[in-house]
Amino acid sequence: MIQYCCDGCKQIIDPRDDLRYVVRMEIYAAMDTAEIDDGDDDRDYLMEVQEIIERGEDAENDRLGEEIYQQLRFDLCPDCRRKFLQSPLARETGKQLYFSEN
């Protein structure tokens, strides 16, 4: 039997008793269209990014690939799922008050 561990709290998740949630994320470099030359209309930027990633054989190219695209996967228990949904970017949810310097 496969044993799962919550990536949030490190608690063992028993598949017979507990629900397990999977979070998948993709992080990729944004290609702003405003910076693209009008003469490059036929250019396939996604294909170029894919080729850069596929060429990456040494450590330098691996770091470049990670700067362009990453896929992440996390297993979460019900409590950590609830916390994640409340603040997906791990920001504090409480309001901060700012006072003037008077």
Q: What residue ranges of the chain have pLDDT lower than 50?
A: none
**Amino acid identity for residue 35 in this structure:** E
For residue 79, the model assigns a pLDDT of 94
Three-class SS of residue 63?
A: helix
Token reading at 22: 């999977």
Give the separation between CA 27 and CA 72, rounded to whole angstroms.
8
pLDDT at res. 93: 58
Closest CA to 62 of 54, 71, 50, 74: 54
pLDDT at 18: 82
H-state helical runs in 28-69:
45-55, 59-68
pLDDT for the residue numbered 51: 77
Q: Quick one: pLDDT at residue 26?
A: 92
